[in-house]
Amino acid sequence: MSGTDLIYLDNNATTRIDPTVLEAMREAHELAYANPGSRHAAGRKARQTLEDSREQIAEILGAHPTEVIFTSGGTESINMALWGLAYSPEGLILSAPGEHPATSAAIQKMLDQGWTSAEFPIDEEGLIVTERLSDLAWNHARLATVILAHNETGVIQTLDPIIDLCEDNRVPLHIDAVQAVGKIDVNFRKLNVTALSLTAHKFHGPRGIGALLLKSKCQLKPLLVGGFQESERRAGTESVPLIAGMAKALELWHSQKAERSKKLTEMQHQFESGLKQALPNIVISGSAGDRLPSTSNVSFTGLDGEALLISLDLAGIACSTGSACASGSSEPSPILLAMKTPKSVYESAIRFSFSCQNTPEEIETAIARIVEIVEPQLPPSE
């Protein structure tokens, strides 16, 4: 299959930047090139572009402009939230199993410094078991974090019970919405949480730019210190072209969200039903609940996921065995382990993730290539 056209189905890792976004960035590079902290005319022009972008992002996400803090991406936003909201030197942090590596690594660092942790219970579909939330030691909790839409399975959590318990117990709550923003509606004001992380490259924006939404009047210890940028909450000269690109990418999603959601839902159904018809023994993790229409976590039971990934790559299909930020790890997927999936399932899991730039024709071709690779490796039916 050498020489075949690439079919990019790894959009949860990153998306291809939209040409309209590139044009917005080019314009910002040309017209808003100065330091937005400078007081001359060129600096004021850059500041205006920066603040216009902030207002646009805030409006789409249901936040006040002063609640938007620009960062370098999801990892920084998550670390900024967890370290910045950890007001006490120690305490209990609550999180969901299988959080993104940016979250789990930050929590491990906190444990090294004297914090303790506990996890929200989840079921076999990856959903938090709300009936058991009250069993946790809320009186000792000082911080909570949860992923809204999972990067490996696409499972979307119901947050209301956790939000209510955090509010009742005065526990700051951070939401990792990195995979959700630009794919489903996210309204910061309606969620009524303390902080929320996002990044542009998950919705056809540029890499290297993200944001932390921080509830008004909440105190945040800065992760980076130096200048007075971002209302003294994040030091460092803001990248106006990247910020303008993120605003444009979010605006494009917002104006096309109904069409994009419909297209993604149809392609996800086409992909999964096509595979099931040809390979009836596949397992799709998290498929019984609400999922992102962009994500299919498929296990080809009995096969080796890493070997299969190489074969798919050689066949021109870009996909992954889990989070791109955990690539190179030989450990099983934490979320699939927490969902109590059998070894034969989690060892053969492949994540396929779609975007609005994919086509039904690509999906059909991908199905054919996958079946051609997998079918000969399956044991003969009895």
Q: What is the pLDDT of residue 177?
A: 99
DSSP for 41-106 reads HHHHHHHHHHHHHHHHHHHHTT--GGGEEEESSHHHHHHHHHHHS--SSS-EEEE-TT--HHHHHH
Q: What is the pLDDT of residues 46-70, one digit of tens each?
A: 999 999 999 999 999 999 999 999 9
1-10, 290-299, 335-344: segment of lowest average pLDDT: 1-10
Binning pLDDT at 50, 70 and 90, where does residue 89 land? Answer: confident
Q: What is the pLDDT of residue 87?
A: 86
- The Cβ of residue 46 has, within 10 Å, a number of other Cβ atoms equal to 24
Strand 116-119 relative to strand 92-95: parallel, antiparallel, unpaired? parallel
% of the chain with per-residue pLDDT over 90: 92
136 pLDDT above the threshold of 80:
yes
Q: What is the pLDDT of residues 194-209, one digit of tens each?
A: 999 999 999 999 999 9
328 pLDDT above the threshold of 70:
no
Domain made up of 19-252: CATH architecture: 3-Layer(aba) Sandwich (3.40)
Q: What is the pLDDT of residue 382?
A: 41
In 3-state terms the chain splits into helix, strand, coil percentages (rounded to 5) of 45, 15, 40
Amino acid identity at 195 = A
Q: What is the pLDDT of residue 1?
A: 44
- Whole-number Å distance between alpha carbons of 153 and 285: 6
381 pLDDT above the threshold of 90:
no
Q: Where exactly does CATH 3.40.640.10 map onto the chain? A: 19-252
Average pLDDT, the chain: 95
Q: What is the pLDDT of residues 338-373, one digit of tens each?
A: 999 999 999 999 999 999 999 999 999 999 999 999
Q: What is the pLDDT of residue 88?
A: 84
- Whole-number Å distance between alpha carbons of 163 and 157: 12
Order of strands across the sheet that contains 195-199: 68-71, 210-214, 195-199, 173-176, 141-147, 92-95, 116-119
Residue range 211-222: mean pLDDT, rounded: 95
Amino acid identity at 222 = P
Q: What is the pLDDT of residue 42?
A: 97
Report residue 143 CA to chain centroid gap. 20
Nearest to 50, CA basis, from 62, 66, 32: 32
% of the chain with per-residue pLDDT over 70: 96
Q: What is the pLDDT of residues 152-182, one digit of tens each?
A: 999 999 999 999 999 999 999 999 999 999 9
Which of these is catalytic: 166, 319, 325, 356? 325
Report residue 152 CA to chain centroid gap. 9
Q: From start to end of the chain, where are the E strands?
A: 7-8, 68-71, 92-95, 116-119, 141-147, 173-176, 195-199, 210-214, 283-284, 295-299, 317-318, 349-353
Q: What is the pLDDT of residue 329?
A: 54
Task: Report whether 197 contacts 81 (CB < 8 A).
Answer: yes
40: left (phi over 0), alpha (psi -120 to 50) or beta: beta
Q: What is the pLDDT of residues 283-293, one digit of tens each?
A: 999 999 899 99
2 pLDDT above the threshold of 50:
no
Stated as kind and residue range, the H or E segment containing 310 is helix 305-314
144 pLDDT above the threshold of 60:
yes
Is 325 labeled as catalytic in the residue annotation?
yes
Task: Report whether 59 contacts 254 (CB < 8 A).
Answer: no
DSSP for 206-249 reads -TT-EEEEE-TT-----SS-SS-HHHHTS-S---HHHHHHHHHH
Q: What is the pLDDT of residue 286?
A: 96
* Beta carbons within 8 Å of 255's beta carbon, 6+ residues apart: none
Under CATH, to which class is 7-16+257-377 assigned? alpha beta
Q: What is the pLDDT of residue 4?
A: 76
